[in-house]
Structure 1
Amino acid sequence: MTSTFSIYALTAVAGLYCIYRLAVRLQLSRAKHPSLRGHSNWSRRVARLVPFFSYDDNAFFASDGAPEPVQQQRRKAIRTLQNNAEQHCHRTLAYLRAIRDSVSDVRFTSRYRVPFPYSDQLPECFRLGSMADESKGSQVRDLDGNWRYDLSGSYGVNVFGYDFYKQCMDEGIAHTRGLGPVLGAYHPLIAENVEMICEVSGLDEVSFHMSGTEAVMQAVRLARYHTGRTHLVRFCGAYHGWWDGVQPGIGNTRKARDVYTLADQSQQTLHILRSRKDIACVLINPLQAFHPNSDAPSDTALVASDRNNVFDKQSYTDWLSQVRDVCTERGIVLIFDEVFTGFRLAYRGAQEFYGIQADLVTYGKTLGGGLPIGVLAGTHRLMRRFKDDQPVNVSFARGTFNSHPYVMGAMNVFLNRIRQAHIQQQYRTSETLWNQRVARFNQRLESEGLPLRITNLHSILSVLYTRPSRYNWMFQFYLRQAGLELSWTGTGRLIMSYSFTDEDFNHVIERFVEAARQMDADGWWWQSPALTNKAIRRQFLVDMVSARFPILKGRLSGPLATTRHDTRSGPMADQDQYSRKVG
């Protein structure tokens, strides 16, 4: 009898435990964003199922169901753009072709400038990207002598204009030339640099690294070391460098079981932070306020016209304040990843911009004064890499080129220059200035009747498309022809520097409008009642399913159905493997 009762009791306990674990799991699932971006494992699995397919020559120009006259307009436009590029950029293109097959970054970015079904038919000269040999102020020059206003921002490095950084580099190297590349021994400028970084960060201690990704790696490692907990929380869509420990979804083949990807601005997320005992740290990318729960906008994902970036500063400030309170309450390390936003949004970066103090802060890009750098700042307690009572229990981190003298020199010039009165005045007025400029930009677009709108977070801009279209990704090539330099992500992110004067900005508006007029005249924004964003996405899904299951080809159709082939072809065939992964 006693034995039977024990079995029943154990069964009941096991059942209750299973119910408890299921409830905990459901709470975690509710805190994730419902999209695939919020479910890293599923996003990786689905990415493997997305087949490559390529629109043939006819479908390339008619995937939206455009009539024959519009198709011919587009064909002529492509030829004109191609001829102009080959004529005016022939030297630049020759150099890019020479390195195309031997520089892996060029192969990758060439593959992902546009939605993948269009890439094989896109003329090669559009895929190759940029090469430059000189910069000045807000402009860069290619090898053919073409000057363009730079909207790429050198991935965020260029906050103050290229002349500013060339001066930082020249002066910094002059200060440290006597020591040269001596490593291990520190150049004395490091002491002043650390003092200024501590002032900016509001923290006690600094470690130097060679990239922002490396600084984030160290921040996460120290958070786990000191809390004794296993997991980190990142927010849906946020980018923290390419390390697989903070990029658990597409692009990473390792199954990261120690990362929770939770929804931004969600009360369910706050509940998870309050209730779980395994969370070591929360990673915040302040730029995510521009597109919460979405990936960074890129033209490679411009399948339709439903890109939507909206920045609400007060709302995101309130959210970060709540996260800060929960982290303090639960002993979770709050990390601000300021690799991109540091020294751009304000003198003290996003911490000042949002009025939130973090426990650890990572910096990079612009802080190096034009040279590569990654920096981690934190409290004395969190930056400590050893335990007094456990001499072998250390958190090891070193790097051969950490604190390189030339980098320390350029950084020193940078940090001293941004303390000057006129730069501090720029910081005080910059947010209002950029908001006013973007408002003026949008007024001009509206007056021209163009299907475009500009959104911004400070001096970081993005292009929204207000008319359903399958060809918005073409706009990047018109902008380039008009004299505007974009990064490989195209119109998703336009990164502008403080060196843009009102006159420069007006020139950018004029060139932007000129490019948009031509794009419109060439028929890429042709419209029909059937061409809705929903219909476009449905047709794209039909195309993918037909490519995955050829037996269904012809049986599936959408409102925009066109002739296409699903077999691999074209000059990019050797890059099939990654395209299958990223989709």
Structure 2
Amino acid sequence: MAGLVSTSLLVALPLAGMAHLAWRRLQLSLAKHPSLTGHSRMAKRVARQLPGYSYGEEMFFGSDGAPSDVVARRKSGFGRLAAHFSRRHPKSIALSAEASRWISDIQFTRDYRVPFQYSRYLSGHLRLGGFVGSSDGVFLTDLDGQRSYDLAGSYGVNLLGYDFYKSCMEEAWGRARDLGPVLGPYHPCVAWNAERLCRISGKDEVSFHMSGTEAVMQAVRLARYHTGKEHLVRFCGAYHGWWDDVQPGPGNPMPPGKTYTLREMHRATLRVLGTRSDIACVLVNPLQAFHPNLPAPGDSSLVDSGRRASFDRVAYTQWLRELREVCTRRGIVLILDEVFLGFRLAPGGAQEYFGVEADLVTYGKTLGGGYPVGVVCGRRHLMRRYRDDRPADICFARGTFNSHPHVMAAMQVFLERLEHAEVKALYEGLDALWDRRVADLNRLLAGADVPVRIANMSTVWSVTYTRPSRYNWMLQFYLRAEGLALGWIGTGRFIFPLTFGEADFNEVAARIVRAARAMRDDGWWDGNPAISD
């Protein structure tokens, strides 16, 4: 009898262990977003198997089954656009073509402006310039002297207008000139910056880095070091730089490592965080409040009208509070990645705006006063890089150009000016101002009978489309022809400085409406009515 019981236990214990592991695995699966974006391994397999092909002229203009008269209008409009760019921007286009022989980034952004099926024909017949010669206020001027309103915002750097940053850089040169490029010893402004950033972030210590990616890498490394746990949680679609652990899907040749990609704003994710014991940290990019669980919107994947964006501040605030509670309860480090949005929503960043305190905060972009920078601010016990009781067990993070004198001096000027009354006034009623502007523009677009609408999160915009179409990506070229400078992702993201005035906004709004009308008149939205998203 005893032997029978022992045998039963030997069988039951492994089965119980297997059932527990299966349950944990099920809970993790339920916390993943059902899209490919939420399943990085599967997404990479699909990406590797997707065959490359290119449309010729017939399919380029008629892939939606449009009738011949519509195709003829499209060809005519396309020809006018191509001639317009060639006539107005010859020097910029010529240098871009020449430089693309040596700069792979130019090749990439050229070929991924639009869905890949259309890219080869487009780049062979309609060329754009990627070089500019000067900036002033809200304008960029290219090598041919053509001025455009800048809606790309230098990837989020341009928070306060280009003249502001040029002035910061000029003043910084005077402050750091005597020290020059000396690295190792610090310029005195480093101490001032550290104290001011601790005050702004509400944290105890600071470390300086050369990019936002580096700052996030350091924050994650510190979290792993101090918790003794390996896994990080990131949310579906969120961007935290281009290093392996935070970009596990297509674009990264390495398989996913110690990373869980979970669904944002979902109860199943909170259950995983509340039960697993292998999670060191949770990474949050508050920009995802604009499009939860979706990647950054770009025209290279815009083959339908399925793009969605909206911002619910109350709902996202509640989500962050729930994350804060479960992270505190489970000893998980909450990292707020403010590299993009830091100082854009409020003087104290997303922590102030949403009213939620993180354990570690990363900054970058605009904080450098025009120079590249990354910063980690954190609680003292998390920022420490060594252990007194284990002196060989350190958390290493150094960099040759960390705390470069000129970068630190420009940061000091930026932080000083952030306290000026005229800058503080820009944040007063900021959301109401930009919500009103977007509502006004959407009324104009509706009145013009075009299938284009704008969604916004404060000064960050995304263009959405209300009618099924294979050609929404063409709008970026009509906008460029109206003198609006866009980023390489096209209509997915416009980024305005807080200093964008009413007269300039009204002019930009008029140009957006004209561009949409021109695209409509050229037939790009007159495809087969049977197509759908």
Q: TM-score, normalised by structure 2?
A: 0.98
Q: CA deviation at 1:129?
A: 4.8
Preserved contact between residue 426 and residue 499 of structure 2 (Cα < 8 Å): no
Partner of 1:46: 46
Residue number in structure 2 paired with 1:106: 106
Q: Offset of 1:531 from its aligned partner? A: 2.1
Equivalence map 1:330-409=2 (5 Å) = 330-409=330-409
Q: CA deviation at 1:469?
A: 0.6
Hey, what does 1:162 align to over in structure 2? 162
Which residue does 1:482 correspond to in 2?
A: 482
Measured against aligned partners, the alpha-carbon deviations of 1:19-59 in whole angstroms (never above 9, x if no partner) come to 11111100110011111111111111111111111112101
Match of 1:118 in 2: 118
Aligned position for 1:285: 285
Deviations 1:66-109 (A, max 9, x none): 01111111111111111111111000011101111211111111
1:473-526, CA deviations, whole angstroms, 9 ceiling, x for partnerless residues? 011011001000000010000001122100000000011111111101111010
Q: Distance in 1 between matches of 2:125 and 2:102?
A: 17
Asked if 1:437 is matched to 2:416, the reply is no
Kindly report which structure 2 residues correspond to 1:120-519, keeping only aligned pairs within 5 A, or say none: 120-124=120-124, 126=126, 128-519=128-519
Once the two structures are superposed, residues 106-155 of structure 1 have per-residue CA deviations (whole angstroms, 9 ceiling, x without a partner) of 11111110000000111447465521110000010010011000000000
d(CA) in 2 for partners of 1:284 and 1:65?
Answer: 43
SS at match of 1:453: strand
SS in 2 for 1:393: coil
Query: How many pairs align?
Result: 533
1:44 aligned partner, one-letter code: K
Deviates more, 1:3-12 or 1:442-451: 3-12
Letter in 1 for 2:502: D
1:250 Cα deviation after fit:
1.1
How far apart in 2 are the matches of 1:123 and 1:403? 41
Q: Does 1:7 align with 2:7?
A: yes
Distance (whole Å) between structure 2 residues aligned to residue 504 and residue 136 of structure 1: 13
How many Å separate the matches in 2 of 1:281 and 1:372? 26
Distance between the aligned counterparts of 2:528 and 2:468, measured in 1? 9
Alignment-mate amino acid for residue 272 of structure 1: V
Change (3 A) 1:212 1:265: same
* Distance in structure 2 (CA, Å) of the matches to 1:127 and 1:178: 45
Q: Distance in 2 between matches of 1:124 and 1:376?
A: 44
Shift in alpha-carbon separation, 1:312–1:60, aligned structure 2, 3 A? same
**Helix, strand or coil: the match of 2:396?**
coil
Secondary structure in structure 1 of the residue aligned to 2:244:
coil
Contact 1:110 1:129 in 2 (8 A): no
Query: What residue number does 1:96 align with?
Result: 96
Counterpart amino acid of residue 345 in structure 1: L
**Contact 1:93-1:125 within 8 A present in 2 as well:** no
d(CA) in 2 for partners of 1:125, 1:401: 43
**Which ranges of 4 or more aligned residues in structure 1 deviate by more than 4 Å?**
1-5, 125-129
**Structure 2 Cα separation of the partners of residues 143 and 128 of structure 1:** 12
Q: Is the 8 A contact 1:385 1:396 kept in 2?
A: yes
- 1:372-426 per-residue CA deviation (whole Å, 9 max, x = no partner) reads 0001100111000000100000000100000000001111100000111111111
Q: Distance in 2 between matches of 1:161 and 1:425?
A: 15
Shift of 1:3: 5.1
8 Å CA contact 1:82–1:123 kept in 2: the answer is no
User: 1:18 maps to which residue?
Assistant: 18
Please give the alpha-carbon distance, in whole angstroms, between the structure 2 residues aligned to 1:428 and 1:126. Answer: 43
Q: One-letter code of the match for 1:279?
A: I
Give the 3 Å change call, closer, same or farther, for CA 266–76 of structure 1 in structure 2: same
1:523-573 residue CA offsets vs partner (Å, 9 max, x unmatched): 10104430221xxxxxxxxxxxxxxxxxxxxxxxxxxxxxxxxxxxxxxxx
Q: Does structure 2 retain, via aligned residues, the 8 Å contact 1:55–1:117? A: yes
Counterpart residue identity of residue 217, structure 1:
M
Tell me the CA shift for residue 5 of structure 1. 4.5
Supply the AA of the counterpart residue of 2:210.
M
Q: Determine the C-alpha separation between the residues in 2 that align with 1:179 and 1:335.
A: 34
**More divergent stretch after superposition (56-65 vs 127-136):** 127-136
Query: Is the contact made by 1:290 and 1:311 (CA closer than 8 Å) also made in structure 2?
Result: yes
Question: Equivalent residue of 1:464, what SS?
Answer: strand
Aligned equivalents of 1:125, 1:484: Cα separation in 2: 21
Q: Which amino acid aligns with 1:463?
A: V
Report what 1:565 is aligned to: none
Identity %: 55
TM-score normalised by the chain length of structure 1: 0.90
Query: For 2:321 and 2:171, how far apart are their aligned partners in 1?
Result: 40
Distance change (3 Å), C-alpha of 1:170 and 1:83:
same
Give the aligned residue type for 2:150: D
When structure 1 is superposed on structure 2, of 355-364 and 420-429 the one drifting more is 420-429
Query: 1:121 aligns to what SS in structure 2?
Result: helix
Q: Which residue identity does 2:516 align to in structure 1?
A: A
Q: For structure 2, which runs of at least 5 residues remain unmatched after alignment?
A: none
Cα distance 1:390–1:39, how it changes in 2: closer, same or farther (>3 A)? same
Q: Deviation per CA, 1:186-221: give whole Å up to 9, x if none.
A: 000111111111111111110000000000000000
Superposed CA deviations along residues 341-398 of structure 1, whole A, max 9, x for unmatched, are 0011110111111111110000000000000000110011100000010000000010
Opposite residue 155 of structure 1, the aligned amino acid is Y
For residues 299-342 of structure 1, what are the alpha-carbon distances to aligned partners after superposition, in whole Å with 9 as ceiling and x for unaligned?
01101011110111111111011001111111110000000000
Per-residue deviation at 1:4?
Answer: 5.4
SS at match of 1:334: strand
CA contact (8 A) 1:296 1:492 kept: yes
Contact 2:342–2:363 (8 Å) recurs in 1? yes
Instruction: Quote the Cα distance in structure 2 between the aligned partners of 1:128 and 1:359.
Output: 44
CA drift of 1:156 comes to: 0.3
Structure 1 CA distance for aligned equivalents of residues 363 and 146 of structure 2: 33
